[in-house]
Chains A and B, each alone.
Chain A
Amino acid sequence: MAASVKVLVIDDDEDFRASLRPVLETQGYAVLEAESGDEGLKKLVEHRPNVIIVDIMMESSTEGYGVTQAIRWQEAYQDFRGIPIIMVSSIEQSPEERFPMAGELDMIRPDTYLTKPLDFPRLLETLRRIAAPS
């Protein structure tokens, strides 16, 4: 791999980030971390990652959807509108269940939804499929 794929991991659980990093790094990915949605959006603009992994429930709220909504719909992030987003959560509540109104869901539908703990082979397979270096 010439240019490595940059993965931005947004999660307020330090251990989630710490345990994911070596898995990605041994596969040749470059890893960026952010511990809140705001920090994640800042790093998105600064470092232009190729794919985002974002936790849904941060700070006891559904912040992950806020991040996705911002990237997909806010002008400030229009350069990144097409970036693949993988949403993760430890609860098995699908986006359809969380936002039963179809219109709402279309605004924030992630490319992929995975539950925690992450199944690493499945995550790596997903990354290979959706993320490409810039």
Chain B
Amino acid sequence: MNEPGEQEVIVVIDDDAAMRLSCRKILAKAGYRVETFEDGAQGLEGVARLKPGLAVVDLKMPGLSGLEVIARVHQLDPLTVVVVITGYATIDTAVEAIKAGAYDFLPKPFSPEELRLIVGRALERRRLVLDSRRGEMERELLKRRFVTFVSHQLQTPLAAVHQYLSVLRQLEDLGEAGGRRREWIERCLKRSEEMQTIIRDWLTLARLEGDRLVRQCARVDLRQIIPNILATYAEMAAAERVTLEARLPEEAAWVRGDLNCLNVLFDNLIVNAIKYNRPGGRVTISAEALGGEVEVAVADTGVGIPPQYQEFLFDEFFRIRGEGAKKTAGTGLGLSIAKKIVTELGGSIAVVSEPGVGSTFRVRLPAWREPAAEEGRDGSAA
């Protein structure tokens, strides 16, 4: 499609001067820029130079035949649409033209309205093709950038480890800097662990693709699994001087989910709430049944998330950095994993946050329904 305001160019190739003139008149009146040529060779030169959106080609011409012209137009630009006009309109010639790559054909004589209609349709078709082509290119570009980015995230810790090892080898030869050796080895270990975590998280994310998860769903009581997860992180919380607290309903809170995935989901949210907290802070996890859903809220009293970053929070590899950001190890995948799990389970996740005060992540998951009951409901609704 041309830019808005730019005139669409149409090339007309016909040996009949009267036909060229009337095509020019009709199409110029319809707002197109029209260039006409009297034979195939000149016409192809014109197509190469003008790069038209559409070519109107007479099938029977001296010199290059119409069918040859169609093929060569498409060699120049496969996206130029060709409409064939012919005085010998038989089914056979039409089929031949379409086989050769023409979009449609128009038998002579035709009315101005018929020409305008077919040209309009042909150009519309071209627009659709161009649009979908553009979408494909955008997706491809995004994918390429993403691959570059992932490889950067993986290469960075590896490069650090490699450099430390090179230094250690070099300084060993020189017998220097012995005191820092231990520190560098510790850093190597830390960075290789970081890389392992990235790969593990990345794999988790990749495995979550598709609907397998939904098919494995069973009845899970959040009131039971949440205290278990909290117990796992008691030590970490104590080390950060953060208090963990659960506010759970009296009754069982059944959701439809996969136990492993729910564990990963709440692991990620609770670890974040501890990591991005402050000494003496608190993490509160509460669950509540709300109609057909169960809402779990994980609230911290930590650094909070500046409003401008909140919309990117669930993006893969997104991490808040820069001034004031807490220097905390992390892969930038935890919340993407959380979001993916919640989405696959048919729920939703949202965050409310105030910098310096804290953040609350709210997860809503579909409550468990007995399959029989569900069928009955569907039946009565139909």
Contacts and interface: CB of A to CB of B under 8 A. Distances in A.
A16 B160 contact: yes
B167 interface: yes
A32 interface: no
Given A23-B167, A26-B174, A60-B319, A13 B160 contact: yes
Contacts of A23: 166-167, 170
B170 A120 contact: yes
B72 interface: no
A90 B155 contact: yes
Contact of A22 (B152, B162, B180, B317): B180
A79 interface: no
Interface residues of B, number: 28
Contacts of A18: 164, 184, 187
A26 B172 CA distance: 12
Interface residues of A, number: 22
Contact of B159 (A36, A59, A116, A120): A116
Interface in A4-33: 12-13, 15-16, 18-20, 22-23, 26
A117 to B, nearest CB: 4
B177 A22 contact: yes
B248 to A, nearest CB: 38
Interface string A89-125: 1110100000000000000000000001110100000
Given A90-B152, A91-B148, A116-B155, A15 B191 contact: yes
A119 B165 CA distance: 12
B167 A16 contact: no
B290 interface: no
Interface string B150-188: 011001101110111011001100101100100010010
B333 to A, nearest CB: 13
A83 to B, nearest CB: 24
Contacts of B317: 60
B321 interface: yes
Contacts of B163: 15-16, 19-20, 116-118
Given A15-B191, A26-B174, A120 B166 contact: yes
A24 B175 CA distance: 16
Contacts of A20: 163
A57 interface: yes
B109 interface: no
B160 A19 contact: yes
A59 B322 contact: yes
B176 A59 contact: no
Contacts of A116: 155-156, 159, 163
Nearest to A119: B166
Contacts of B170: 23, 26, 120
Given A26-B176, A59-B321, A117-B166, A19 B184 contact: yes
B164 A91 contact: no
B167 A22 contact: yes
A61 to B, nearest CB: 10
Interface string A59-92: 1100000000000000000000000000001110
Contact of B162 (A13, A36, A117): A117
Contacts of A117: 158-160, 162-163, 166
Contacts of A26: 170-171, 174, 176
Interface of A: 12-13, 15-16, 18-20, 22-23, 26, 36, 57, 59-60, 89-91, 93, 116-118, 120
21 contacts: A12-B321, A15-B163, A18-B184, A19-B160, A19-B167, A19-B184, A23-B166, A23-B167, A23-B170, A26-B174, A36-B322, A57-B152, A90-B152, A90-B156, A91-B148, A91-B151, A116-B155, A116-B159, A117-B158, A117-B160, A120-B166
Given A16-B159, A93-B148, 15 more contacts: A16-B163, A18-B184, A20-B163, A22-B167, A22-B176, A23-B166, A26-B170, A36-B322, A57-B152, A90-B159, A116-B155, A116-B156, A116-B159, A117-B159, A117-B166
Closest 4 CB pairs of A and B: A90-B155, A117-B162, A15-B160, A116-B159
